[in-house]
Amino acid sequence: KLEAELNNKKSKQAPGTIRFRSRDWFDDPDHPDSTALHIERYLNWGLSLPEITDPTKPIIGIAQSGSDLSPCNRHHLELAKRVRDGIIAAGGTPLEFPCHPIQETGKRPNAALDRNLSYLSLVEALFGYPIDGVVLLTGCDKTTPAMLMAACTVNIPTIAMNVGPMLNGYYYERLTGSGTIVWESRKRYAAGEISYDEFLDIVSSSAPSVGHCNTMGTASTMNALAEALGMGFGSAIPAAYRERGQCAYQTGLRIVDLTKKDIKPSDILTKEAFENAIAANSAIGGSTNAPIHLNAIAKHIGVQLDNDDWERVGYQLPLLVNIQPAGEFLCEEYFRAGGLPAVMAELLDNGKLPHPDAMTVTGKTWREICKGKNSWDRRVIKSFDNPMKKNSGFLHLKGSLFDSAIMKTSVISEEFQERYLSNPEDPNAFQGPCFVFDGPEDYHATIETKEVTPDAILVIRGVGPTGYPGAAEVVNMAPPTKLFKQGISELPCIGDGRQSGTAGSPSILNASPEAATGGNLAILKDGDIIRVDLNKRSCDILISEEEISKRCNAMSPYKCPASQTPWQEIYRTYVSELSEGMVLKNAVKYQRVAQVSQP
């Protein structure tokens, strides 16, 4: 019966063409009732019959992440119209649908918690509805990885299109960048230098138009990496520029072509593509959240990628892009200087783009895209020989405290280097007594009461994906006031949580396993000596193995705050460690679940 059914279906296809998966909804001769039910309801708002029954027309989903709740992505409500125009012009039928909102600055307790929820709901939409290819409308931090992860699980032809950054913010003649200006002005407000109204004015000036953050935070990073992976193009175009609408139209045209050729995420997202993205992340000065999200995308497409790859490919590459928070400019200048293709061209010309022949959704390889695309403005995208910083990537540390953690060494200040790293015998090792905090509330309540010394290492635990659902961005902790008064503005920090892309202290982040799932951060006590050796990539507690096992045996399970919503509880039950991408453990076995059937 199955064979007869398949032959029946095949007979309706022109030889050599793909039978799009939407035909199973709109053209299933063996199930005329359900076919009719699908057809009548999709016609009810004005579609005409050929738009959904013509076997040569792919149905293209437009995954809409913009809404009033998601101001960073809200401009997609407009841009989607241009995507539709492109799809129709290329002979496809667009069907737009909403995604679960993830607004970085609006979601309690944090937006990272919702990445996997948005992922799950998009998998169901892509799998369960008549969609042959999809345009992911990305932007604000977690929307990009959430949507790419879902496209990987389902594995239908996909293009990710960024909403684009906001225009430059100005307060009088000064550039004001997203996030960065908040951290700076809040200090001035606390010191009584500006009023609350001025504080609000300055901060609001950094958000002058539609679009996402105009600094190199997680949004600009993740959209640049989606492009570097080969899954999109034009990531740097500001949201309000005409080129953004044109990019939306091109995306509509391209996705129809990709769908007709059945070019799927698994064809683009090879190990080589991920290595190119890691190289790009170093050159743009990407956020420490990038390894988490990229490792998650890799898990869902079935590519082996871990933090060793991040160090191997990315550590020794320079920072080329002069954008806040690491530099001076904002995303408008970055776009005008050439955006990501100019960064990739600089790497390629210097033999540092790992895989120039990796294919992209544009139909071109990076070698082809980069031709003639070098930086038009060397103030903004630097030459390889004159970078902003050397060694802009991450070190991958291991040891008796955790199996995996990363450190961004390029943000280590001279002050820190003098205090910790200038021991002539071993310039890359430092050690000191630790002071331990169980979450940010404990840190704020007790930091001023502990006898924190100038050689101290601050440790925060209980803030990983399970401990503090979503993993809190709290690892970079300020020293107590008395050390500030002695001129010590930063101490090394270690934690099983995350750190905002805009923060700059010498932190050891994303420690996995986290305390809440049995990681050894849980056995630390105030005053234990921790030794960090950057040459050996190690971070150890200087107590005997017997003492470690004694403490482990005496430990009761780490106490975490209670879940506040059903999703928090479900999330904690299934989430993996930060080093594993913080994915839902039992989701990764579902791969390529909606393969387009071949003729």
- Please, which residues have CB within 8 angstroms of residue 287's CB and are 6 or more apart in sequence? 216, 217, 218, 221, 222, 500, 501
CB of 219 or CB of 269, closer to Mg ion: 219
CB of 140 or CB of 475, closer to ligand FES: 140
Select from Mg ion, ligand FES, none the partner in contact with residue 361, using the beta carbon and a kind-dependent cut-off of 5 to 8 Å: none
CB of 220 or CB of 505, closer to ligand FES: 220
Site string for ligand FES, 209-228 (x = CB under 6 A): ---xx---x-x---------
DSSP helix/strand/coil, 532: strand
177 near ligand FES, judged by CB under 6 A:
no
161 near ligand FES, judged by CB under 6 A:
no
Q: Which two tokens stand for residue 380?
A: 């903004």
Count of residues that interact with ligand FES, criterion CB under 6 A: 10
Single-letter code of the amino acid located at 224: A
Query: d(Cα 596, Cα 156) in Å, to the nearest integer?
Result: 7
CB of 219 or CB of 290, closer to ligand FES: 219
74 near ligand FES, judged by CB under 6 A:
no
From residue 513, how far is each of 145, 169, 312, 322, 457 by CA, in Å?
22, 40, 22, 35, 19
507 near ligand FES, judged by CB under 6 A:
no
Q: Which two tokens stand for residue 229?
A: 């992976």
DSSP helix/strand/coil, 54: coil
72 near ligand FES, judged by CB under 6 A:
yes
258 near ligand FES, judged by CB under 6 A:
no
332 near ligand FES, judged by CB under 6 A:
no
CB of 51 or CB of 141, closer to Mg ion: 141
Region from 166-174, 403-411, 486-494, 499-507 binding Mg ion, contact rule CB under 5 A: 499-507
Q: Which of 529, 533, 512 is nearest to 521 (CA)?
A: 512
CB of 53 or CB of 110, closer to ligand FES: 110
Sign for the pseudo-dihedral over CA of 48, 53, 57, 63: positive
Judge whether 313 and 354 are in contact, CB under 8 Å.
yes
Select from ligand FES, Mg ion, none the partner in contact with residue 228, using the beta carbon and a kind-dependent cut-off of 5 to 8 Å: none
Among 105, 266, 270, 563, binds ligand FES (CB under 6 A): 105
Query: d(Cα 456, Cα 441) in Å, to the nearest integer?
Result: 20
Interaction residues for Mg ion, span 416-455 (CB under 5 A): none
CB of 93 or CB of 287, closer to ligand FES: 287
347 near ligand FES, judged by CB under 6 A:
no
Query: d(Cα 167, Cα 413) in Å, to the nearest integer?
Result: 30
Select from ligand FES, Mg ion, none the partner in contact with residue 72, using the beta carbon and a kind-dependent cut-off of 5 to 8 Å: ligand FES
CB of 126 or CB of 149, closer to ligand FES: 149
- Please, which residues have CB within 8 angstroms of residue 418's CB and are 6 or more apart in sequence? none
Single-letter code of the amino acid located at 29: P
Judge whether 183 and 499 are in contact, CB under 8 Å.
no
Single-letter code of the amino acid located at 99: C
First to last CA, the chain: 19
Closest approach of ligand FES to the CB of residue 106, in Å? 8
286 near ligand FES, judged by CB under 6 A:
no
Region from 305-313, 325-333, 449-457, 493-501 binding Mg ion, contact rule CB under 5 A: 493-501
Which residues are at the interface with ligand FES (CB under 6 A)? 72, 104-105, 140-141, 178, 212-213, 217, 219
